[in-house]
Amino acid sequence: MATEILSGKVHVNTTINGESTDFLAEPRESLLEVLRETLGLTGAKEGCNDGNCGACNVIMDGRLVNSCCVLAVEASGADVTTIEGIAGPSGLHPLQEKFLEHAALQCGVCTPGFLVSAKAMLDENPNPTEDEVRWWLAGNLCRCTGYDKIVRAVLDAAASMRGEG
Amino acid sequence: MHAISYAAPTTVADAVSILAEHGANARMLAGGTDLIVQVREKLRDTTVFVDAKHIPDLMQLSVNADGSATLGAAVACHQIYGDDAFSAQYPALVDACQIIGSTGIQGRASVGGNLCNSGPAGDTIPPLIVHGAVANIAGANGGRTVAVEDFCTGPSQNVLGDGELLVSLTLPKPAAGSGSHYLRFIPRNEMDIAEVGAGAAVTLDGDTIAAARISIGAVAPTPLFVAEAGEALIGQTAGEAAYEIAANIARDAATPINDMRGTIAHRKHLSFVLTQRALRGAVARARGMEVGHGH
Amino acid sequence: MAVETREEAVTIKHHSVDYSVVGTRPIRHDGVDKVTGAARYGADVSQPGQIYGAVTRSPHAHARIRSIDTSKAEALPGVHAVITSADLADPGEKVTGGGEATAVPLKHKSGNVMARGKALYHGHAVAAVAAIDAHTAGEAAALIDVDYEVLPPVMDVLEAMKPGATLLHDDLHTDIAGEASAEPSNVAAKFLFEEGDVEAGFAEAAVVVEREFTFATVHQGYIENHNALALWHGDGELTVWCSSQGHFTIRAEVADILDVPISKVKVIPTEIGGGFGGKTTCYLEPLAAALARKAGRPVKMTMARADILKATGPTPGGYVRVKMGVDSDGKLTAGEAYMAFEAGGYPGSVVAAGCMCVFAPYNLTNVKIEGDDVVVNRPKTHAYRAPGATQAEFASETVVDEICEQLGIDVLDFRTLNSAEEGTWRAGGPAYGRIGHKECVEAARGSEHWNSTLEKPAGTYRGRGVASGFWFNIGFTSSAIARLNPDGTVTLLEGSPDIGGTRSSIAMQFAETLGIGFDDVIPMVVDTDSVGYTDVTGGSRVTFATGYAAHEAANDMRKQMIEGMADVWDVAADSITYENATFTANGESATFKEAAHLLNEDTQQIIGKATVTPEKEGNAFAVHIADVEVDVETGKVTVLRYTAIQDAGVAIYPPYVEGQMQGGAVQGIGWAFNEEYFYDDDGRLRNATLLDYRMPTTLDVPMIETIIVEVPHPGSPFGVRGVGEVPIVPPPAALAIAIYDAVGIRYRDLPMSPHRVYAELAARQNGAEA
């Protein structure tokens, strides 16, 4: 059977932050656009729209991705976690708590991307070194903090999640 | 972005028929980290995106019984460096996969996509060349294979015709005593396009270099396979004197331009420096030593 | 890269006051929303029925606009409105600002928002469209046909000043102390600051060093894109949502550009994702409003990153020449400087500020400083964190280092000997009040970093550099309104957009004034209808001036509560005392919270308010120490260790003071090494992406150690000096000096990118071989 070529508004079913979610999107719409403009999940930000700032980062099927570089139609059947899904019902994620404790944000616009990226890292590597944290987060630009307090917060959150905090 | 359409075929044959039908308007979509941005920025006029990631042949990653490896064109970088068996054999390609873009980019970007994008500075292309990789191409008139060093024909240009697609790459089994390394020079420490990149693969017989391949990127319209640099090393004792001979040949082969990423003089010089460094890393790995990825 | 994690920050206090809220480290009031994605930034706001705007921009750096054909765009299905500069008010010869915004000719302000007659830089807006979705708007914008007569681009300040240079504006004459030049020129204004007798000063000098410096155009690089959402109400009133550093300024500019009464315009501030001086003026707001008026629908606009780099205000590149003389004892005798700064397509660079900063850390009585404001075919430049100071002090601090080397004097001793102090007259005036440059030098001398030995393993090229920095800081006008809630908390309304924790630093001063808790104050940044006039968040002024307003509003609240409690208790107001957050009189006593409850029961509304314009700004000084390693094979420089020392006055909210110091230092490191506007021969910006406009990543910097020095500013109730800007000033000089220490080459052109560093190393090598 020949593959269907989709155009116009396409129906997409995904799981976003644990909930089955349906939306309509044109193939040219990015996952970021749909999250923000269609689904009202404005936590992911557009900073560059070309994969160079990390402010739109989400976790898709367990991998960190720049949602500006994903077509929304590609998310069909995917499991997506956004910043809105990081905190649990019992409260903030340790990363969120440590960002606040360490003053690891100033204007806050890059913060959702950093938190999502850091979560993806800790999911994979619960005991990162400072160098590993800096490597993993190199795709997230912050113009306010100079990164110092962000790196400290991530290391401290990791320690706390390992029960060392 | 202009309006596009999207197809997600599950077989190579289906993908070929869509590509054949839509000609130059259609392109394969793997990680999308180049293609989506290029269409958004009006650098490409692609109107039909053909998703590569639902075609099993394009998603395979395996070390085969004969010791060679098959790398599907749409396999993302993170899968490559997450595969121990593959990584052990092709460390130069792993170097590239670990430094290309960011962690987020590596979650989607593929080696096949990097090759098909055919940028002069594509980080995975010199490693593929030094590993002796061959591109397996499917098309309406059947398949063909092309050595990676012959794949790119100019900036953003390659041998793929309308209706053709890159299915996979075959990487030969490295001989015993082999090591490889890729590194690049960038002004920052991550997130930049290479000002110059250099890959080297060597096979040692004791302290003597039995075989070597060298490739440099971002210094010509396509990544360069500097065959003479590798040939000049054969029979030489692994060491600085030999590296300098090869590095001089690489510098002479480089024909870079001035742009916002560097100058001709700097790039010529870096071709020399990075070839030396790539060889040092490759030889160290051939001797079983740990070498960090190109940072 | 191996990075060692070091001890956390140090604070050195030159005072003995001890506060209960000020100086503590609570979690900021807006924190949770900012870590959960709930905080609403400009582009996060939507209105029912909104459509989307897009801008058509000039592909040329310099071109006359012969005609604009919008018919194809208008015919595209889904397009609701198309505008050009004809849809904005005719600016005539009006002046905008002069009260609520910087006074500039309206034709320049409006022309920068949308080109009028001429496109003056690559990316200059020439038309805009509104359509049913952002993609359609983008397609329509590309369908607008503009007939350009392309003119030669004028890209460099020194070229632009040459006789016979192509003129950007036929009607621009040089302003020299209020007099206009006879002939039109690309030099918009000439500034002169002269004190003492420079010739006599140089005659006394034992050592004179004169050097030239250049520096590239750089961008503030905030991560949040510009945005605007405009909605017209049926009664002709306009509401604009946007993120800016000052919504009162945006209101004034929108009113002027559209010629709408200012009272008809309400600007609602959203959270702002960074500004650094770049969001103190409007770009999209008037266009969204004009499109919305024409379309009859709310219009939302966001600016793509490429357009931000091409068409919003970067900070000037240019040229500085500095000459300094010292006597044989190491005392500065004279300083002379000339600087030419890029204004961009319209007049108004920050060159005058650069002139006043260039020698400001020093007690220098004989000075002559000249500055030229030069229009070139680059985007209209704007403030960037200590605007003008970084460029100017990169030059003077580098010359100071060279002087110290020639005299064989320690760089910190030289600074102690020559430091400006209370009473020192700064070029352009006034004399300083109590300042803390000497104390910063002292802190540097005592720091672990300065006293550590920089290890230099064989084959490495490592060096250490130190540089001072000065920035004025400003006062300007701020307002605050405090509403007492029945539960004893206070809602504090303010007009200063919070870019990095100032809600809390302001609330802390309010809480301290009344002796109540941090969490008892609920700070809110509110719209232009809801609080008194407040100047922009800039000039390091918010914690100082808006904090001052909050302090006064707290005093007003206390006074009203005392009067109110006098009614409740039926006693004379002057018999009530307020101490330890408790009202007491004639045996009656009520805590602040109890009083709030009683006053509410008594149907009394307590609304404290204040507007202040503090006159004495608290000048900021910093000293930075940098260790670097140069890869002499490639020209790449790695920062090994970095310490920022700064007089904060009193650090109200220390973690965010440290954050400002660290963030400023890292922006300065980016400026020093890799950030630059790269134009081709046609004046087109070639690196308008965050890929090729290279701001530092996590991997490009070490931890930034901080030493907060506290020399209280007498002009603030709590000694606040303002901390945001000065930390960007020292890095380029400190790093250039460190590179010199490592490889023996003085770099005087920014950025010191690898190919530039390598080129000098190679030239020296070739010279040695020749």
pLDDT digits (tens, 9 = 90+) for C210-219: 999 999 999 9
Residues of C in Cβ contact (< 8 Å) with B1 = 135, 138
Total number of domains constituting chain B: 2
Compute the count of residue pairs across chains A and B with CB atoms less than 8 Å apart: 108
Last residue of a domain, one of B139, B171, B203: B171
Give residue-wise pLDDT tens across range B248-258. Answer: 999 999 999 99
Residue C43 has pLDDT above 60, yes or no: yes
- Tally Cβ neighbours within 10 Å of residue C519: 12
- Give chain C's count of helices (H) and strands (E): 20, 31
Does B196 map to a domain? yes
Q: Which two tokens stand for residue C260?
A: 């709408």
Residues of C in Cβ contact (< 8 Å) with B3 = 135
Residues of C in Cβ contact (< 8 Å) with B190 = 697-699
A94-161 fold: DNA polymerase; domain 1 (1.10.150)
Does B225 map to a domain? yes
Does B294 map to a domain? no
φ, ψ of residue C69 in degrees (nearest 5): -110, 110
Confidence (pLDDT) at C103: 76
Q: What is the DSSP string of B81-106?
A: HT-HHHHHH-HHHHHHHHHSS-HHHH
Nearest partner of C312 among C238, C390, C391, C243, judged by Cα: C243
Confidence (pLDDT) at B210: 98
DSSP C431: B
Cβ-count burial of B197 within 10 angstroms (0-12 exposed, 13-18 middle, 19+ buried)?
buried
The stretch C696-718 carries a mean pLDDT of: 97
Confidence (pLDDT) at C363: 97
Is the domain of B211 the same as that of B160?
Answer: no
Query: Among 3.30.365.10, 1.10.3430.10, 3.40.50.11540, 3.30.830.10, what is the CATH number of C1-16+433-471+617-770?
Result: 3.30.365.10
Give residue-wise pLDDT tens across range B119-134. Answer: 999 999 999 999 999 9
Residues of A in Cβ contact (< 8 Å) with B117 = none
φ, ψ of residue C98 in degrees (nearest 5): 70, 55
C neighbours by CB contacts (3+ pairs under 8 Å): A, B
Per the CB < 8 Å rule, is C501 touching A143?
A: no
Residue B293 has pLDDT above 80, yes or no: no
Confidence (pLDDT) at A165: 60
Q: Which two tokens stand for residue A105?
A: 């944000």
Confidence (pLDDT) at C100: 46
Confidence (pLDDT) at B204: 98
Residue C683 has pLDDT above 90, yes or no: yes
Range of the structural domain that residue B19 is part of: 5-171
* Mean pLDDT of the residues in chain C: 96
Confidence (pLDDT) at C382: 96
Per the CB < 8 Å rule, is C43 touching A42?
A: yes
Give residue-wise pLDDT tens across range C64-116. Answer: 999 999 999 999 999 999 999 999 999 999 988 755 456 799 999 999 999 99
SS3 C397: helix
Shortest Cα distance, chain A CAs vs residue C322, angstroms? 30
Asked if domains C1-16+433-471+617-770 and C478-612 share a fold, the reply is yes
CATH classification code of C478-612:
3.30.365.10
Is the domain of B198 the same as that of B61?
Answer: no
Q: Which residue of A has its CA nearest to C668?
A: A146
- Tally Cβ neighbours within 10 Å of residue B207: 11
Residue C560 has pLDDT above 70, yes or no: yes
Cβ-count burial of C639 within 10 angstroms (0-12 exposed, 13-18 middle, 19+ buried)?
buried
Residue in the structure block whose two tokens are 């800096």: A134
Shortest Cα distance, chain B CAs vs residue C1, angstroms? 7
CATH classification code of A10-85:
3.10.20.30
Q: For the whole model, what pTM was predicted?
A: 0.97
CATH number of the domain encompassing residue B203 = 3.30.390.50
Per the CB < 8 Å rule, is B190 touching A64?
A: no
Is the domain of B80 the same as that of B184?
Answer: no
- Do residues C340 and C372 make contact, with C-beta atoms less than 8 angstroms apart? yes
The stretch C23-43 carries a mean pLDDT of: 97
Partnered with residue C53 across adjacent β-strands are: C130
In angstroms, what is the C-alpha Rg of chain C?
Answer: 27
Residues of B in Cβ contact (< 8 Å) with A5 = 5-7, 18, 48
Give residue-wise pLDDT tens across range A92-126. Answer: 999 999 999 999 999 999 999 999 999 999 999 99
Q: H or E element: which one contains B115? A: helix B111-117
Whole-angstrom CA distances from C81 to B3, C300, C327 are: 21, 13, 68
Confidence (pLDDT) at C291: 98
The stretch C146-169 carries a mean pLDDT of: 98
pLDDT tens for chain A, residues 1 to 165: 579 999 999 999 999 999 999 999 999 999 999 999 999 999 999 999 999 999 999 999 999 999 999 999 999 999 999 999 999 888 999 999 999 999 999 999 999 999 999 999 999 999 999 999 999 999 999 999 999 999 999 999 999 999 986
Is the domain of B104 the same as that of B154?
Answer: yes
Does B292 map to a domain? no
Per the CB < 8 Å rule, is C634 touching B259?
A: no
Confidence (pLDDT) at C612: 97
| Residues of chain B numbered 85-124 and touching chain C (CB < 8 Å) | none
Does B190 map to a domain? yes
User: What is the rounded (10 degree) CA torsion for B260, B262, B264, B267?
Assistant: -150
Q: Which two tokens stand for residue C119?
A: 């496109």
Cβ-count burial of C744 within 10 angstroms (0-12 exposed, 13-18 middle, 19+ buried)?
exposed
Confidence (pLDDT) at C105: 94
Last residue of a domain, one of B171, B190, B209: B171
Domain regions of chain C by residue span = 1-16+433-471+617-770, 478-612
The stretch C616-627 carries a mean pLDDT of: 95
Nearest partner of C123 among C387, C272, C305, judged by Cα: C305
Which residue from B188, B260, B261 is facing C697, i.e. has the nearest CB?
B188
The three-point CA angle C409-C413-C418 to 5° equals 100
Nearest partner of C271 among B257, A106, B75, A121, judged by Cα: A106
- Do residues C491 and C485 make contact, with C-beta atoms less than 8 angstroms apart? yes
Domain regions of chain A by residue span = 10-85, 94-161
The amino acid that residue C88 corresponds to is L
Is the domain of B195 the same as that of B211?
Answer: yes
> Distance (Å, rounded) from C-alpha B239 to C-alpha B243?
6
Confidence (pLDDT) at B197: 98
- Using the Cβ of B191 and the Cβ atoms of chain C, whether some distance falls under 8 Å is answered with yes
Testing the interface with A: which of B103, B114, B189 to mutate, by most A Cβ within 10 A? B103
Is the domain of B102 the same as that of B237?
Answer: no
Confidence (pLDDT) at B85: 96
Last residue of a domain, one of B151, B171, B191: B171
Is the domain of B85 the same as that of B133?
Answer: yes
Confidence (pLDDT) at C1: 30
- Do residues C334 and C300 make contact, with C-beta atoms less than 8 angstroms apart? no
Shortest Cα distance, chain A CAs vs residue C508, angstroms? 16
